[in-house]
Every structure is written in structure tokens, then in C-alpha cells.
Amino acid sequence: MMDGMDSEQEWIASILAPKTRENYTRGFRRFKEWLDTDAEGILELRKEEGKRFTTRIVQYFNWRSKQVSENSARTEIVALQSFLTYWDLTLKLKMLPPISSKVEDYYPVLEDLQAMYRYNDLDTKAWISLARDSPARISDLLKISPEDIAKGEKMVKSQKERVVGWMFFSDQTRELWSKNPNIPRTQRGIAKLLERACEVAKVHVWNCHLFRKYFTTIATNLQLNEKVVKALIFKTVGESDSTYYFRIHDELKNAWQKVVNAIPLELKNGRVSDLEKRMTLMTLALKKYYKFIHAWKPSKTTTYVSDMQVDEMSEEEFLARFVEG
């Protein structure tokens, strides 16, 4: 080993991308905690047990899958695989499901969200209203209690990025949660609740990330301050001052209210225009066309951006870029 480093430190130092280092560190830490050992202990067990060490990984996968989605559990194991490969102890894990990286063609629209809310029960309505209000990650939402919601707002630190921010809760959400809904307390339970809700409403499946994406899209279309939007969705805004989020509380809440007002869960006068859906479908079609043209004749797309960037753009941002060429 390199001087002054243990096996884990040397492996982490070999990873170039900062985000990958962060993700691998987190995933590897969870496996160590579950196995109740350190990196050196893992190497010793792998050497002693040989291929039989895969049984421990399968056991971890089964345990972790009860807390998060199978895809998330499988992704965490990639960190362990990387660690073992670095020390020439590679293991093939063909018995585990592959990691899904499918990019959805579906673009969320208000009518589908309203249908999910309209045709489902109290439990589903309560979660949908909370997810509409709080564009946080599922791991952070699951920590919110009915008592937190009753207060109308809460300052939290996001689990993934360790960013401090505010969650705000609408009167609608507070009323629904005051009726004591029976909400699942695991990511898998929430995923099943949403799948069932979408099946009842006969709309494309919304996962928790889609709520977050839709909130961001609406905020962008409303032309809200970019830094404020990042703060609302628990993204790093480059402020080291610990009092920053207290000082901008009112600005954040005003911006949040504008977004929530633009995402009504109940129909007004029983009618909703389909203009938004048509515009969304048109933008989606243009995005596909843009990707096709660049793949076919790159010289025709002088302001080319990657496929992933195209998918993340708001309707207004993409259309402006599309017009530029």
C-alpha cells in the first residue's frame, strides 16, 4: 500500500471524479456498517471465502432492497465491486439484477398529476400533496413527520448532498395529514403506492424523482431566480455562511408559493385546458428531432448540447436553444 494510506484511502484516492468518490464512499460505508467490519476485514473475508463471498453480497442486497429500490441497492454494491477490483479480487455478480439506466420519454404534465389526486384515496392524496410541496429526495421526505407538517415549515439537511434548506407545507397538505393517513415508511412502499395510484388514474407512472423534476420545470418556466430554485430543491448554492438560509427564508417561501400555486392538485370549475399537454408533447417531439439531426448531421446543430442536457432543459429553455439552431 502507498505510504500513509490504508486500503480504503488508497482506493478512494484512485477515483478521479469527485461525485463518484462521494457516491462510492457512501455506498461502501453502508456495506461496512452492515457487515460490522472495516475495509481490511472485507479484504480478509474475500481472500478466505473466495467466491463464496458473493453470498454475503446477496444477503446485503436482499436486506438493503427492503429499504430502498432494488436499483438503488444494486447501485450501492458497485462501490464494493470497485474496491475489490482495485485490489485484484474481482467478483462477478451475475445473480444480481442489472442496473437500470433507462431514460423516460414521458414528460410530466399537470393533468396526469391531477388525475392521480382525483381518483385515489386519502393515503395517496396526502403523499402526492407532500411531494408536490417539497421537491426533496425521497430519503428526506420519509423523515418528515405529521408534527413537522402541522407546523407549516421545517429546516432540514439533505441526506445525499448534506445541504441545509427549508421545506414548506401548504394548507392542503396540512389538512390531509391531520386526518392521519397511513403512509408507507420505505422507498419501496412509496413506489408501490404511486404505481397503484397511476394505474387507477390510467396515467404514466410517476416516481418520486418525477415530482422533483416537475417542480424544477415549473420553477424554471416561472423565471424564478436560479439560486433560489437550487436552494428549494436542496442543491448546493455556494454559500458557506451558516446564516444564509435563515436570511433568505422569506424569499424562498415566496418563490415556493408561486410554484405551488402553479401546480393545483384539484381542477377549477371541473375543466382543464389541454394546451399544456399539447405544448409538452410538441417540445418532446422537437427534442427527439434535435437528437436525431445531430446524430445524422452534426454540422446542422451548431449550438449542440448533449442528449442528457437536452432532457433536463425546461420547455422554454429548450425552445429558445432550438430556435438558435
Residue-level pLDDT at 225: 82
At 202-250, the pLDDT tens digits run 898 898 888 998 998 888 878 788 888 888 888 877 665 556 666 788 9
Residue 194 has pLDDT above 70, yes or no: yes
Residue-level pLDDT at 107: 75
The predicted model gives 164-181 an average pLDDT of 94
257, 224 Cβ separation under 8 angstroms: no
The predicted model gives 137-150 an average pLDDT of 93
Residue-level pLDDT at 172: 96
Q: Which residues pair with 154 in a beta bridge?
A: 167
Residue-level pLDDT at 299: 56
Residue-level pLDDT at 271: 46
Residue 102 has pLDDT above 60, yes or no: no
Of 37-41, 171-175, 298-302, the poorest mean pLDDT is in: 298-302
pTM for this predicted structure: 0.56
Q: How far apart are CA 20 and CA 17, in angstroms?
A: 5
Chain-centre distance for alpha carbon 162: 14
Mean pLDDT, rounded, of the chain: 83
The predicted model gives 177-206 an average pLDDT of 91
Rounded to 5°, the CA angle 239-242-247 comes to: 85
Report residue 272's pLDDT band, with 50, 70 and 90 as the boundaries.
very low
91, 57 Cβ separation under 8 angstroms: yes
